[in-house]
């Protein structure tokens, strides 16, 4: 069993590290937020107070951070991973970040003598808790093969998406599709209610019909229908609006760079932007139902 350094113990990092500990690994966890570290320590993670301590003696280092700027800072800044990890350590970034940042990290890591794999995930916090995440790995064959064994206890599916940055490219396209289907589920939930349908009965019908989607099954924005949905908890974030907004923005920027127009993605982005503008960046992205019906069940009335 390995010693694993882990940086970023938020909504995703916490359940992911729990599964690594359950698989018998020693996990040394660090986060800027002391409460996140304490919560991870309750799951058997060894709490440490700096990046240097997290990576000391680690065979592999994982990062699970919000955005490209955070990942760049954690790897490249003074006191960061590249400064303190032992040469040859395998570095795995599971954050969802822009392809340019991912490629910059690949290049810097390679120059400094490390193996680096971009390894974003899909499956939400429910997939993280169940150890059934889909991992999309980008990098050289040998590095990806090395990463596979460490990733296994957290994964339901592991794909080698391609070379450097390919994991991130696959991930932003996937999340763009998720945001569009979430928009559909939210609009469906509102229209079903306004047409007088019982929420559970409609969900049961759509679930076995052509309106079904992962968003509907996992994040249905109506309380009391789907256990894993943030709608049951006042839309406290399982996947924050700010992160969903970031991902769809990355997809739109990628589309622009290759001369493609994506009208549905633009609608999803505008709806997430509206939530951000109205002060809900930290709430769950399924709160987009509020834009369609501010009085929908479970929507915070503040
Ligand atoms: P989160 O905001 O809950 O957690 C991120 C953690 O990183 C926070 O605890 C924060 O304190 C920590 N952090 C930020 N900067 C740091 C630094 N410099 N040093 C140490 N710690 C630092 O986010 P999350 O929901 O866990 O998501 C993490 C990544 O995974 C994001 O890129 C997100 O897009 C992606 N993702 C999230 C989900 C989801 O459903 N939540 C699903 C798939 C992928």
Q: Kindly report, residue by residue over 91-100, the tens digit of the pLDDT.
A: 999 999 999 9
Q: Could you tell me which of 143, 215, 233, 127 has the C-alpha nearest to residue 178? A: 215
Is 194 a residue of the active site?
A: no
For residue 114, what pLDDT band results from cuts at 50, 70 and 90?
very high
Alpha helices (runs of H) in 141-262, residue ranges in sequence order: 141-151, 166-194, 199-207, 214-219, 241-257
Q: How far is the CA of 94 from the centre of ligand 1 (A)?
A: 9
Segment 143-154 mean pLDDT: 98
For ligand 1, atom 41: residue with the closest CA: 239
Q: Give 202-252 pLDDT, tens digit per residue.
A: 999 999 999 999 999 999 999 999 999 999 999 999 999 999 999 999 999
Report residue 302's pLDDT band, with 50, 70 and 90 as the boundaries: confident
pLDDT band at 51 (very low <50, low <70, confident <90, very high): very high
Q: Which residue in the block uniquely carries the two structure tokens 């760079």?
A: 257
Q: What percent of the chain has pLDDT over 90?
A: 99
Q: Measured from the CB, is residue 250 less than 6 Å from ligand 1?
A: no
Q: How far is the CA of 2 from the centre of ligand 1 (A)?
A: 23
The residue ranges of DSSP E strands in the chain, in sequence order, are: 3-7, 26-30, 46-47, 60-63, 90-93, 115-118, 121-122, 133-138, 155-162
CA–chain centroid gap for 66, Å, is: 8
Query: What's the gap in Å between 227 CA and the centre of ligand 1?
Result: 22
Closest atom of ligand 1 to 74 CA is 18
Specify the pTM.
0.93
Q: Is 139 in the pocket of ligand 1 (CB under 6 A)?
A: no
Beta carbon of 118 within 6 Å of any ligand 1 atom:
no
Q: Does the CB atom of residue 125 touch ligand 1 within 6 A?
A: yes
Nearest protein CA to atom 20 of ligand 1, as residue: 31
Q: How far is Cα 243 from Cα 45, in angstroms, rounded to an integer?
A: 25
> Would you tell me how many other CB atoms lie within 10 Å of the CB of residue 272?
28
Do 138 and 166 form a contact (C-beta atoms < 8 A)? yes
Q: 126 is written with which tokens?
A: 């429910």
Rg value, the chain, Cα: 20
128 lines ligand 1 (CB under 6 A): no
Contact of 90 with 117, CB cutoff 8 Å = yes
> How far apart are the CA of 71 and the centre of ligand 1, in A?
10
Q: Is the CB of 96 under 6 A from ligand 1?
A: yes
Tell me the average pLDDT across 181-199. 98
Helix-helix angle 241-257:166-194, to 10 degrees: 120
Report which protein residue has its CA nearest ligand 1's atom 14. Answer: 65
């Amino acid at each position: 069993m390995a010693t694993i350094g882990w940086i970023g113990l938020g909504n995703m990092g916490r359940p992911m590290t729990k599964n690594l500990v359950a698989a018998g690994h020693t996990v040394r966890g660090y986060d800027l937020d002391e409460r996140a570290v304490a919560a991870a320590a309750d799951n058997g993670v060894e709490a440490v107070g700096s990046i240097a301590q997290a990576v000391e003696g680690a065979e592999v280092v994982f990062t699970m951070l919000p955005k490209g700027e955070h990942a760049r800072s954690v790897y490249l800044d003074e006191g960061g991973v590249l400064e303190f990890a032992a040469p040859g350590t395998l570095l795995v970034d599971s954050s969802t970040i822009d392809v340019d940042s991912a490629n910059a990290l690949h290049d810097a890591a390679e120059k400094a003598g490390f193996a680096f794999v971009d390894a974003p995930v899909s499956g939400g916090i429910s997939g993280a808790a169940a150890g059934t995440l889909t991992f999309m790995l980008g990098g050289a064959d040998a590095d990806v093969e090395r990463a596979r064994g460490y990733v296994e206890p957290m994964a339901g599916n592991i794909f080698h998406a391609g070379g450097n940055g390919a994991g991130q490219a696959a991930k932003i396209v996937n999340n763009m599709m998720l945001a569009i289907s979430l928009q559909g589920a939210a609009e469906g939930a509102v229209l079903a209610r306004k047409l007088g349908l019982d929420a559970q009965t409609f969900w049961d019908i759509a679930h076995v019909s052509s309106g079904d989607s992962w968003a509907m099954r996992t994040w249905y924005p109506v309380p009391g229908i789907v256990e894993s949905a943030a709608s049951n908890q006042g839309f406290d974030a399982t996947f924050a609006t700010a992160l969903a907004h970031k991902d769809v923005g990355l997809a739109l920027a990628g589309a622009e760079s290759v001369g493609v127009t994506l009208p549905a993605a633009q609608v999803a982005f505008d709806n997430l932007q509206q939530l951000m503008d109205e002060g809900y960046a930290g709430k769950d992205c399924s709160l987009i139902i509020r834009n369609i019906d501010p009085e929908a069940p479970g929507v915070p009335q503040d």
